Amino acid sequence: MKTYTAAQVREAEAPALAAGVPLMARASAALADETAALLRERRQSVVDPAPGSSVPADGLIAGARIIVLAGAGDNGGDALHAGALLAARGALVTIVPTATRMHEAGLAAARAAGARLLSLSDSAEELTSAVVAAATDADVILDGILGTGTSENPALRGRARSLVAALLPLVHGGGPAVVAVDIPSGIGPDRGDVPDSTVLPAILTVTFGGCKAGLLRAPASDFVGRLVVVDIGIGAELERIAARDLRMLDRDTE
């Protein structure tokens, strides 16, 4: 699989965003569809329809419990918009803020679709307790904490790290399935480094535009699960940028 750096993907996105191309809408719709497919697959095993009958596709999504871990940036926005689409299909969505702010449009869409927001005013201990309680019978966690715009050290910090640390025993114990939004939060998108093991191991990673190089490199690859690359319409520009960078690299090594 061909891979790209986070900088290359961001550069390829820039002209599309400037032209008003709805990249976030495309990404969140694909994320919602992939999550819905995972829910149908997992919930089908516990549904026993009468002989000769079938369960409607969205019947396996209605009532599913989804936790959205929403960070402050566009990654959180993708997760929130996907949460809105899943709530519109009947899923019970709980939004967990992992930072002091969230993507405003994504939050508004999710709330309008009926998602529940855990209070930002709660203390760290109260919020963690509420999240663990919600996750105990959840079907899926959408990990939208951090994306490719992380710092040199991608390790989780503060509230986000505390919440993930509290959720890890449930996830490792056969609890909710984790779906990583673009990349598992806490991994290096280019080098594949994992400076802190407080990372939610995904059963599915839905990445946008192109495969980030770090997703295929150990030790980060151990947290990726099944990888789905979603075409959001930047492929031609991304190829142009990658070819340009390769030519520059070849010239520099001559």
What is d(CA 123, CA 127) in angstroms, rounded to the nearest whole number?
6
| Cβ neighbours, 10 Å, residue 236 | 9
pLDDT at 56 over 70: no
In a domain, 2, yes or no: no
In a domain, 6, yes or no: no
In a domain, 247, yes or no: no
**What number is the average pLDDT over the span 221-233?**
98
- Proportion of the chain above pLDDT 70, given as a percent: 91
Domain tally for the chain?
1
What is d(CA 71, CA 7) in angstroms, rounded to the nearest whole number?
20
Lowest mean pLDDT segment, chosen from 12-26, 124-138, 185-199, 225-239: 124-138
In a domain, 127, yes or no: yes
In a domain, 253, yes or no: no
pLDDT at 48 over 70: no
Give the pLDDT score at 43: 76
In the chain, alpha helices (H): 6-18, 23-44, 74-88, 104-112, 124-136, 158-172, 235-253
pLDDT category at 53 given cuts 50, 70, 90 is very low
**What number is the average pLDDT over the span 12-35?**
98
In a domain, 81, yes or no: yes
In a domain, 75, yes or no: yes
pLDDT category at 106 given cuts 50, 70, 90 is very high
Lowest mean pLDDT segment, chosen from 5-14, 23-32, 34-43: 34-43
In 49-113, alpha helices (H): 74-88, 104-112
Domain limits at 156? 22-44+57-230
In a domain, 32, yes or no: yes
pLDDT at 177 over 80: yes
Give the pLDDT score at 188: 96
Percentages of the chain per state (helix, strand, coil), in multiples of 5? 45, 15, 40
Cα dihedral sign for 154, 160, 161, 164? negative
CATH number, domain containing residue 122: 3.40.50.10260
